[in-house]
Amino acid sequence: MIANTLLLLGISSIVRGQSAPPSTLTGKLPALGWNTWNAYGGNINEAKILAAANQFVSLGLKDVGYQYVNIDDVWANKARDSKTNRIVPDPAKFPNGIKGLADKIHALGLKVGIYSDAGTNTCAGYPGSLGNEDIDAATFNEWGIDYLKYDNCYVPGNWSDASSPPGGDWYNSNSAIRFRRMGAALAAQPRPIQYELCIWGQANVWDWGARVGHSWRMSGDSSATWSYITSIINTNVAHISSTKFYAHNDMDMMEIGNGALTLQEQRTHFAAWAFLKSPILLGTDLSKLSSAQLAIIKNKELLAFNQDPNVGTAAVPFKATSSAPTTSPPEYYSGASSKGTHVFIINTSSSAATKTFTLSNVPGLGTSGNYKIHDMWTGTDLSGTYAATASFSVNVAPHDTVAYLLKKV
């Protein structure tokens, strides 16, 4: 009986999916970089991607930590090579292949990402990797790939999930197994490849994502709208305890530079991705960014919070005053960094009320002593000193976010 059970378990783990934990040689901190999709959709080529890589250097983005230059969908031929079964880069778009482009990006001291899909096709109808995980992972390794975004389109019907997963753990769902197969194939490669599960917040990925990849998408695709920003903050906050070193809720690629977001909304977009420790993958034609937009995405103190090597957890909502209302999404967050305790306040509503918090309500701050309040956006201390028992009030512009470090004096 026991032997039979073991035999069954053994067979089922072979048939139903391999597994390997994600590499600890990469992906400890949220990825900082750029991706082609929000900027260009499928209209990509070597020149555009190399231009972005060069702009990382010329605009000072590399200096503040942006590293990944990521190729999204529509880079391949529609058919695999009939002899080798490998995915073939579109020679019109990539005359030097992906390897040739990767070499040039590496020569700039940057890293390169590619895209595939845990189905038979990518979302735009190019070859997917389901059933070809090993050969595709080996190909990406040979090309020098450092990051894989793995999408979720064209899933064959027999891979659909049951309404509840085997054993109550979504790690054993068919969705998770599709992503685990590529994780195992990547783990077998000599090159550490950061692994993004682009699973659109399905199959309770926040419960098992860390066992399979370094980051996982919490939703469908982003849009350059205030409603997307507030809704994804809400979604992320609901599962914020899943974010830690090597494990990041991904709020999707940035929209700064796209659409009609106000400058305040772009500040909130960047600050929230930073303090919730999402990957920050820029998604626009970098040459068109204004100096105000560049100042937002290059803010060193917010980037340092996002990339803190000693603190893996994100900022979390706190009750700012004893009478503070509950809002959706929350407006007041606090979190620790190597520098100390931080407070972030988003003005989400049309309420005219001033934003106020009592210092002793900030988790970890304590109930005694005096504090200076340091503005992370401007890099300067506000005037005055506040006792732990005091309240602090600030006028926040519509849809803007303030970011503070509280320093004991």
Ligand X SMILES: *[C@@H]1O[C@H](CO)[C@@H](O)[C@H](O)[C@H]1NC(C)=O
Q: Give the residue numbers marked as catalytic.
A: 151, 221
CB 75 within 8 A of CB 90: yes
Q: Which residue is nearest to ligand X (CB)?
A: 398
Q: How far is the CB of 11 from ligand X (least distance, A)?
A: 13
Q: How far apart are CA 111 and CA 174, in angstroms?
A: 31
174-187 and 133-143 helices cross at what angle (nearest 10)?
Answer: 40
Closer CB to ligand X, 145 or 373, in the complex:
373
SS3 375: strand
Q: How far apart are CA 147 and CA 194, in angstroms?
A: 4
Amino acid of residue 304: A
Q: How far is the CB of 387 from ligand X (least distance, A)?
A: 23
Residue with token string 């605009």: 59
Q: How far is the CB of 64 from ligand X (least distance, A)?
A: 29
Closer CB to ligand X, 93 or 355, in the complex:
355
Q: Which of 331, 329, 342 is nearest to 376 (CA)?
A: 342
DSSP string, 230-249: HHHHHHHHHTGGG-BTTBEE
Closer CB to ligand X, 269 or 399, in the complex:
399
SS3 255: coil
Closer CB to ligand X, 41 or 398, in the complex:
398
Q: How far is CA 394 from CA 100, 354, 357, in A?
A: 52, 6, 9
Strands (E), 71-126: 111-117
Q: How far is the CB of 32 from ligand X (least distance, A)?
A: 29
Q: Which helix (H) or strand (E) holds 146?
A: none
Q: How far is CA 386 from CA 30, 136, 258, 318, in A?
A: 33, 57, 39, 19
Q: How far is the CB of 156 from ligand X (least distance, A)?
A: 6
Q: How far is the CB of 50 from ligand X (least distance, A)?
A: 39
Q: What is the dihedral of CA 153, 154, 157, 159, to 10 degrees?
A: -50
CB 64 within 8 A of CB 143: no
SS3 250: strand
Closer CB to ligand X, 354 or 378, in the complex:
354
Closer CB to ligand X, 72 or 400, in the complex:
400
Residues engaged in binding ligand X (CB under 6 A): 156, 158-159, 174, 347, 350, 352-355, 395-396, 398-399
**How many residues are present in the chain?**
409
SS3 203: coil
Closer CB to ligand X, 285 or 375, in the complex:
375
Q: How far is the CB of 353 from ligand X (least distance, A)?
A: 6
